[in-house]
Amino acid sequence: MSVYLDNAATTKPCEPAVSAVFQNMVEDFGNPSSLHKMGLSAENNMTDARKAIAAALVCDPKCITFTSGATEANNTIILGAAKNYGKRNRKKIVVSAIEHPSVAEPIKYLEDSGEYTVVRIMSDRNGVIDPDDFIKAVDNDTFLVSCMLVNNETGAINPVKKIFSYVKRNFPECITHCDAVQGFMKIPIKSADIFADTIVVSGHKVHAVKGVGAMFIKNGVRIAPLVHGGGQEKGLRSGTEAVPLIAGFGAAVRALMGTMKTAYSNAETINAYLVKSLSKLDFVKINSKQENNSPYILNFSVEGIRSEIMLHYLESKEIYVSSGSACSKGAHSSVLTAMGISDKLADSAIRVSICRTTTVGEIDVLVNAIRDGYANLAKTK
Ligand code: PMP
């Protein structure tokens, strides 16, 4: 039996998502821009998906635009906001230092152009952004602030609402952007409640398929498109829409909608069990914050064993985890460094990310394998 504990990297598509993808490939395969019945069916299926994402973010479906994923959505919003709002004397961006590369890199791209200044706010020792530090950096020159909801490496939940409400109250012109990929369908996100002008989510993190994401753009906020062409998605994202993937995304969201609360408390139980089991191993050090963290992600270090070595040991037992973050591909984690974790411990960091179907039995399999792996690998060092 394999044990998949890398859900922050991607999740297994759920049955309703797979069925919807299939249906939109074999039956409703029309182009939503076509004026005939086939086009209309595809268009209707997209409308249903848009409504599902909007219901989950508690917003008007008109505010939802589909993209190829969160990376494209983050790029569109950041570069599109810079184009329309980063003008004359408003050239400053304030961003957390623990963002995913799909936020950090387009911001660095703007900085490297020499036209914009960027202030990066470090996290505290728990991996959380201090709202006061963030707020202090925002001023009249700032046109964009960006802070992720849940960090993908540690599961730290940032006080986005506190930061954004302050920014919107004092600098209403400033765009507030939130990468909510790791929080979506896990913790309730009401777009208006967190004072976000723009929010980004991804399909494959919520049991839909890869290659689809969505951006919420509040009414009145003007984001310049990145992709120009046939004017699909109200001109914000040209190109024939990936209807099967979009329909699958909608189906997955609908399937998860009613049970977020129970899933969250299950995840808390599994996370607590994992922490308790790991705490019996004196060579394991937990890096994730213990309270108010996303229960879906736990980051810890196995002292003296490099991440990749443990990862491949676990893989040989058909247990799948991640080293720090899947996107960092073995590079030093800036998130763990920002938390004051030594390079040595960061080098042995493992990220376990669970989903709503993870069981206590699977956690036992993992923890036993870590214990055995440590005994074997420490001997061969
Ligand atoms: N933001 C965060 C926080 C993520 O974890 C990821 C996926 N690793 C992304 C953005 C990018 O998502 P996608 O794969 O849909 O481009």
Nearest-CA residue for atom 9 of ligand 1:
70
Query: Largest Cα–Cα distance in the chain?
Result: 69
Positive or negative, the CA dihedral 347, 75, 185, 211 is negative
Q: Read off the pTM.
A: 0.96
Q: Domain residues of the chain, as ranges?
A: 15-257, 259-379
Are 15-257 and 259-379 the same fold in CATH? no
The pair of three-digit structure tokens given for residue 301, joined into one six-digit string: 């270090």
Local structure of residue 59 (DSSP, 8 states): S
User: Which residue, chain included where needed, has tokens 């398929």?
Assistant: 209
Which of 7, 149, 157, 181 has the most ligand 1 atoms within 8 A of CB, as the residue to mutate? 181
Ligand 1 geometric centre to CA of 40 (Å): 31
**CATH code of domain 15-257:** 3.40.640.10
- Locate the DSSP E strands across the chain: 3-4, 64-67, 92-96, 117-121, 142-146, 175-179, 198-202, 213-217, 284-286, 297-302, 319-320, 349-353
Residue 182, ligand 1, Cβ within 6 A: yes
Nearest-CA residue for atom 12 of ligand 1:
70
Contact yes or no for 194/178 (Cβ under 8 A)? yes
Cα–Cα distance between 167 and 169 in angstroms, integer?
5
Ligand 1 geometric centre to CA of 135 (Å): 25
The pair of three-digit structure tokens given for residue 202, joined into one six-digit string: 């991804």
Cα–Cα distance between 324 and 166 in angstroms, integer?
32
Q: What is the pLDDT along the chain (381 residues), one digit of tens a residue?
A: 899 999 999 999 999 999 999 999 999 999 999 999 999 999 999 999 999 999 999 999 999 999 999 999 999 999 999 999 998 889 999 999 999 999 999 999 999 999 999 999 999 999 999 999 999 999 999 999 999 999 999 999 999 999 999 999 999 999 999 999 999 999 999 999 999 999 999 999 999 999 999 999 999 999 999 999 999 999 999 999 999 999 999 999 999 999 999 999 999 999 999 999 999 999 999 999 988 899 999 999 999 999 999 999 999 999 999 997 444 555 667 789 888 899 999 999 999 999 999 999 999 999 999 999 999 998 766
The pair of three-digit structure tokens given for residue 273, joined into one six-digit string: 């069990």
Q: Select the CATH number that applies to the domain covering 259-379 from these four: 3.40.50.150, 1.10.1200.10, 3.30.70.20, 3.90.1150.10.
A: 3.90.1150.10
Active-site residues, by number, are 327
Residue 10, ligand 1, Cβ within 6 A: no
Ligand 1 geometric centre to CA of 61 (Å): 22
